[in-house]
Amino acid sequence: MKTCTILTMAFSAGLCLAGPALAETRVVILGTGTPVPDFQRAGPGMAVIHDGEAYVFDIGAGVVRRMIEAAQDKGIKELMPMNVKHLFISHLHSDHTIDFPELAATYWWRRDARIEAYGPVGLQAMTDGYYDMQAVDIHLRTSGNQPVQDPTMYQVGVHEISQDGIILDENGVTVEAFSVDHGDIHPAYGYKITTPDKTIVFSGDTTYSETLAEKAKGVDVLVHEVISEEGWKALEPNWQEYHHSSHTLTSELARIANEARPGTLVLTHILHYGAPIETARTEIEALYDGPVILANDLDEF
């Protein structure tokens, strides 16, 4: 297949370039849940697939199983755990990190490249804890007669984010970290991902954020956490205060969407309490006229 690109920036006339068409970037929602256990929804997680590589954002409970499901049932082989080389963590709450050791441990002896993990200060200590937890297993696999491609592949390359900005720029993909407000936990990050054909913003956990609204302007996909206001209003006052200090109400997310006008607004980490989960979408649709999707695990955009 040939592709024709019109270069208007450099030339006054169009220029046609022959070459293979780029595969479309895929956004796969790996988990849409919260700390509340739900067998139908894995913990928070998202993947961006580009040019044969998977870039995974957050890794809550059950996300590794969802990755395997996507690889086996949907043919997204980039998401087999031993193929994943890039992991980005928004913050160090357990519901966003609990599958980190499972990803690191799964079939590491078949890896040909280690996982490079990016996240807040504290990620190295978490990784060292994984090494301690798996010390016996690692020793048995590296000192016995088990075939191991590379005995160092159990190790994770840790990149603790020291400031906002571009933290990855390779193979046509840039990942930008920006600070968000998630109550008492500092730091917490959202991420903006840019590929040759798509822009995506992943909110992580956050209250209303002007920075996020600015980063999300005109993006193709905005994946954002949300609280149903109907459910939130039925909570005890102390829980209302806690959740509002850490998360984004539907009215606030509608405001962000009206400012940013993303191609698609995808709702995840869906807090709805006693209200029907659909209220998270209908409350936003009452205030925002763009496309809104209440995500399920393994939805793709």
Q: What does the DSSP assignment read for the chain?
A: -------TTT-SS------PPPPPPEEEEEE---SS--TTS-SSEEEEEETTEEEEE---TTHHHHHHHHHHHS--GGGSGGG--EEE-S---GGGTTTHHHHHHTTGGG-SS--EEEESTTHHHHHHHHHHHTHHHHHHHHHSS---S-TTTT--EEEE--SSEEEEEETTEEEEEEE--BTTBSS-EEEEEE-SS-EEEE--S-SS-HHHHHHTTT-SEEEEEEE-HHHHHTS-HHHHHHHHHHS-BHHHHHHHHHHH--SEEEEEEEE-TTS-TTHHHHHHHTT--S-EEE--TT-B-
Is residue 11's pLDDT more than 90? no
What's domain 26-294's superfamily in CATH?
Ribonuclease Z/Hydroxyacylglutathione hydrolase-like (3.60.15.10)
When the pLDDT of each residue in the chain is averaged and rounded to a whole number, the result is: 93
At 23, is the pLDDT very low, low, confident or very high (cuts 50, 70, 90)?
confident
pLDDT digits (tens, 9 = 90+) for 205-250: 999 999 999 999 999 999 999 999 999 999 999 999 999 999 999 9
Q: Say if residue 175's pLDDT is above 80.
A: yes
pTM for the model: 0.92
- Please report, for the chain, the start and end positions of each structural domain, with discontinuous segments joined by +: 26-294
Query: What integer is the mean pLDDT of 101-126?
Result: 98
